[in-house]
Structure 1
């Protein structure tokens, strides 16, 4: 039965048809991004309701990150034992009402628990849906990871753009209810189409442990050094444009907007590029493009040129992480869930925690030097880029 399903999926690809399994995993990425994006406009109201200052809010956001990093490797272990389909369904069901739960929690202590759960299940679902995307890539014998991440970006854009408007018009609680309903509808559409994957019997019987071979950790390093710059632009790009290049409030927001726009566009195009040129060559060109873009932003004498630099960096960074995740899920002799849990753990830890360190350093050096020097991380990515050969889907015979 499984072999017949695979043959049907491959026939669908050859006929130019989008398999239902690819549609399903794209919807899962859209949902996860939507939840994350919907949280952003809630932060000011969340702070006001609890009566807390910036420092306590910062600690709660840190708890969100810790939740992600704790549950990601646990999800990877369950994927290795049970397959990604079961894990992504369970994590998506639990994630759907968590923003509503967070809205109803009455004090800081319960809010801390809610933040841990929200971050934890966003992260756990992230590992599971990436693992499922790897299995869909194998069944289709072509790359889809970049477009999946583009759907995540699209979901984040929809969630963040609509959140403030809905809360202003209808209130905070109706917004949280609508987010939950949207998630359940999207999950309901995806549910029957999610690719059913089964772990190898030997893998299922193995004890869950961190991999001892260096390859997954090297791929994780690629993810880490690809996501640190992304988090830096997200958290500090606007402040750099405003304080050091004299941009207006309106213009300062265009730095990350340009970065996000080029990233989303290139993620939709990235699968076709990788199918044609392969993971290694695509990663190297993307890394060099990102390096040039960030150096341009760091050395720019004015805000418009820096914004162009950020846009160019978005073009490059767009497909670096999807390639790393595909490689992590396709490593020989290692269950996809284990390899992906290492890559996601390392990558997201860089995105969550490195910007805090960068902010501390920038107080003494300024952001121009930061954005000029961060591309040095890309040199390590280039040195490790030959491992991206594992990102090329080989499929099953």
Structure 2
């Protein structure tokens, strides 16, 4: 297995270069596994006899495992490089779906779910760090499209999951998903850029950053992902319960949001290369504010759904730009800046939706979506920090 040195700086002419394909396949595999887990949740709960509350605690264990793993992964990335770490994390992540399927006691399930969340997060942080390395080598943005591949993987995993479970059973589905995920990794690993710290970087003292810059970029990721989680978890309930939309149509708000977000992520790299990280982030923030305000204030269902679609266009590239900026901070190993940003960002999508549900019991969801738009006003004000996302194009 041969890696291409990070020092290579020739500008590729193909859209999908080997390095880009390699890291995109990592995102596809990670999203595919998360999508494959979704249709297994009811079976997992039924097998273990979990109530809704107990299942909620299991999902919380997943979130705790994820959040704890992210800063540790940043340290490993800084010490060993993202290429080695992402390979190790992905290989340990690979058998997790089979373990989730065969586990037959609650306490073993707690352990498996904890490591499932932790390894997912470890792979996530390190593959984002490897994406930053590819951006430096190729002098162009690729982060948004990588996140689009994650979304595609999720759709593929969720779409195949229910069909495979019904035809070959839960264990057959887990084995088939593992084989396909293994094929993604086998195609990915030989194409990964060699992101290895030099001798001086290896001997630097590694600690959480004491400067405010990575934490402020983490706030951008946090405020970007809280509305994303809110739309994902609550848009259908908002349309059905509060606005009286038929259940057959209630899911169209999230579908419009997800479709526009995934589509724009494939175009987002070209936009950022042309306009720069700061301007792109400002445009995204404005679009999202408009979309969230429409979702909360519009008088008719079609305009509300259009609002969710506009919000998806805006939110699509916020997190990828923030991750690129965090991975390019001067005087800081990419893994450390990214670990701060991912930990703060994903805490928003893992923890905030439950708090939003509690608030909505007292206020309704319309004021929630209006209030969430204020978070992206703050993102707009912090957009100048996204100039660091463009450091990868400095020769």
What is the TM-score when the length of structure 2 is the normalising length? 0.97
1:19 CA drift (Å): 2.0
Asked if the contact 2:6–2:137 (Cα under 8 Å) also holds between the matched residues in 1, the reply is yes
Tell me the residue number matched to 1:139.
137
Which of these residues, 302, 305, 310, is aligned with residue 303 of structure 2?
A: 305
Partner Cα distance (1:383, 1:192) in 2: 41
Mean CA deviation greater in 362-371 or 201-210? 201-210
Asked if the contact 1:95–1:121 (Cα under 8 Å) also holds between the matched residues in 2, the reply is yes
1:394 CA drift (Å): 3.3
Specify every segment of 5 or more residues in structure 1 that has no aligned partner in the other structure, as ranges.
none
Which of these residues, 164, 167, 173, is aligned with residue 165 of structure 2?
A: 167
1:395 CA drift (Å): 4.7
Tell me the residue number matched to 2:390.
392
Tell me the residue number matched to 2:363.
365
Partner Cα distance (1:283, 1:144) in 2: 15
1:107 CA drift (Å): 1.3
Tell me the residue number matched to 1:77.
75
For residues 258-279 of structure 1, what are the alpha-carbon distances to aligned partners after superposition, in whole Å with 9 as ceiling and x for unaligned?
1100000000000000000000
Which of these residues, 105, 112, 123, is aligned with residue 103 of structure 2?
A: 105
Q: Compute the RMSD of aligned alpha carbons.
A: 1.5
2:326 is equivalent to residue 328 of structure 1: yes
Specify every segment of 5 or more residues in structure 2 that has no aligned partner in the other structure, as ranges.
none
Asked if the contact 2:142–2:269 (Cα under 8 Å) also holds between the matched residues in 1, the reply is yes
Tell me the residue number matched to 1:243.
241
Partner Cα distance (1:119, 1:244) in 2: 33
2:370 is equivalent to residue 354 of structure 1: no
- Return closer, same or farther for 1:305/1:44 CA change in 2, 3 Å cut-off: same
2:256 is equivalent to residue 258 of structure 1: yes
Asked if the contact 2:77–2:335 (Cα under 8 Å) also holds between the matched residues in 1, the reply is yes
1:18 CA drift (Å): 3.0
- Return closer, same or farther for 1:7/1:219 CA change in 2, 3 Å cut-off: closer
Partner Cα distance (2:20, 2:122) in 1: 20
2:171 is equivalent to residue 208 of structure 1: no
Which of these residues, 218, 221, 224, is aligned with residue 219 of structure 2?
A: 221
Count of aligned positions: 394
Tell me the residue number matched to 2:87.
89
Asked if the contact 2:8–2:137 (Cα under 8 Å) also holds between the matched residues in 1, the reply is no
Asked if the contact 2:328–2:392 (Cα under 8 Å) also holds between the matched residues in 1, the reply is no
Asked if the contact 1:226–1:378 (Cα under 8 Å) also holds between the matched residues in 2, the reply is yes
Partner Cα distance (2:169, 2:391) in 1: 46
